[in-house]
Structures are given as C-alpha cells and as structure tokens.
Amino acid sequence: MAVIALAGCSGAPGVTTSTLALLLSWPLEAGRKMILAECDPDGSAVLHGLLQGSLGDQRSLRNLSVAARIGVFGEAFWRQLIDLGSEDGPPWERLLLPGITDPAQAASLGPVWRILAQMLRGIEAEHDHDVLIDLGRRGAYGPSGVLAEQADATFVVVRNTLRCLQAAEGRVRELEERVGDIGLVMIDEGPYPAGEVQRVLQVPVVATLPYAPKDARVLSDGAEQPRHFTRSPLMKAARAGSSALAQRAALRRARVDPRAAGGEVSHAR
C-alpha cells in the first residue's frame, strides 16, 4: 500500500497519460482499490480528454473547497470519485478524483491541499487503498506541493529528449530540495538511454514507458480503444512499472518510518 505522486516539467512529458496507464494496469488484490487524484493546478486533462467533457463540473476537485469551508470534506471526497474500471472488471475498484475545470479555480484551493494530503494518507492507512497523485507540471512546486511532501514516493515523468531533459534539470533539483530523494519515470521517445538520463539528472530511472502515441491517445483524448489494449506495450510496461514504483515507495517509507513500513518492504520484494 502506498501514496505515490507523479510530477512533470515543461516539454509535454505525459504525466496524466502515465498516471492513467498506471491506474488501469496496477495489480490489485481482492477488496483493494486504487485512487487517482488529479491535482494539477493548470486544470484537469482527464475531464476534457479521456472523459471528453461528459461530466462538466459535477464531480471535481473544486467541489472540495466548499466542503472544506463547511466541515464536510471527508463525506464530499467520496462523492467526487468516478469509476474508471473496465466493463468486465469489478466495479468501483479503480477510481478517479477529477481535477479542476479551469486554472483560475486553483486560487480557491489554498486550504484544500493540506487537508487532501491528510485525507489521502488516511485512505491508504485505514482502507488499504493505493493512491496515485497527478501533480501536473506545476503542482509539486507551489502550494499543492504538500501532496508531494506527504507521499511515500515522488517521481518526475520525463522524456529522454534533449528538450525535456534540459527542462527537467531545474525541476528535479527544486523537487529534491522539497521532498528529498525522488525517482524518474522515463517515456522512451528520444535517443538517450536510461543510464544517460540518470547520469544527466543524477536521479534513478525507476520505470520506463514506451513512446506509443496511438495507445496514449486512448488515455489522453478518449480515442477509440483498440482490441487487446490492455495487452499493448504501453499497458504492459505500466503494469511492470507499477511494481517498481511500489517497491521504491515501500523502501522509502521504511527509511522514513521503519516501524510503519516493516511489513511492506518484504511484500514489495
């Protein structure tokens, strides 16, 4: 069980597509759930992409700002979630908290970020649910950075292109200062191997996802899902990557709080 945050940088690294792939491929034991909280201050990519505007703002992170003011945050949180599981899978197993519909709404979320961070930690501890947090390109560095601070592990999504690596360097250093050690999720679009990316950014590549635009558009834009999508290279890599991310989160938690994480390290191995 873990709370895992993913952040990006300029250069369109694909944070939301990566977190959606992880959400839909994450291996879950019976009775367990996976929750993806879309906490990008620049606005929801899922509402306008995968969901194609079908929800409007009926369920979104913005509704929690009102709930926080009137003291019903916990109850309101569960009402905002939507089910993203497949038709042939168990219902309400893979859940999404949609983000804000307009970047201007981020100004009203100042008090919400810390409450949400505590809520997500409580869900993981009390309900044995895994949690993914999509911080977008800016979310790890402003007021919502508390979500990264409270996570068991934080990862930066990068592409192995010159443009993205140059943009990522400053972001990685800033995030390291805020939360300590971090890892990378690399989208393999460019010419640089994982070892070179690690050398340049001085941060380990923990998981690698293929550059697969056609499959990615299913998640980023709601494109028609091809046959055997769940067995596509993207989803297979996400499934393997989820194990690597969970293991790193368990090991990091063990370093921070050995008493709370003793059992998780052996499970991750």
pLDDT value at 65 more than 80? yes
Specify the range with the lowest mean pLDDT, choosing from 136-145, 159-168, 184-193, 215-224. Answer: 136-145
**Structure confidence at residue 222 (pLDDT):** 86
> Which of the four pLDDT bands, split at 50, 70 and 90, describes residue 265?
very low
The answer as to whether 194 is a domain residue is yes
Which two three-digit tokens encode residue 176? 């390291």
**Structure confidence at residue 55 (pLDDT):** 67
Q: How far apart are CA 85 and CA 251, in angstroms?
A: 29
pLDDT value at 259 more than 80? no
The answer as to whether 262 is a domain residue is no
Percent of the chain with pLDDT over 90: 58
The answer as to whether 263 is a domain residue is no
Side-chain-facing half-sphere of 224: CA atoms under 13 Å: 2
The answer as to whether 84 is a domain residue is yes
**Structure confidence at residue 249 (pLDDT):** 93
SS (H, E, C) 82-94: EECCCCCCCCCCE
160 secondary structure, DSSP code: S
CATH code for the domain of 163: 3.40.50.300
**Structure confidence at residue 137 (pLDDT):** 82
Q: How far apart are CA 97 and CA 101, in angstroms?
A: 12
Cα 202 from chain centre: 22
Of residues 269 and 217, the one with the higher pLDDT is 217
The answer as to whether 9 is a domain residue is yes
> Which of the four pLDDT bands, split at 50, 70 and 90, describes residue 268?
very low
The answer as to whether 199 is a domain residue is yes
pLDDT value at 213 more than 70? yes
When pLDDT is averaged across residues 27-49 and rounded to a whole number, the result is: 86
Q: How far apart are CA 168 and CA 155, in angstroms?
A: 12
The answer as to whether 97 is a domain residue is yes
Question: Which residue range forms the structural domain that includes residue 56?
Answer: 3-256
> Which of the four pLDDT bands, split at 50, 70 and 90, describes residue 261?
very low
Q: Is the pTM value of this prediction over 0.85?
A: yes
The answer as to whether 265 is a domain residue is no
- How many domains, in total, are found in the chain? 1
When pLDDT is averaged across residues 225-247 and rounded to a whole number, the result is: 93
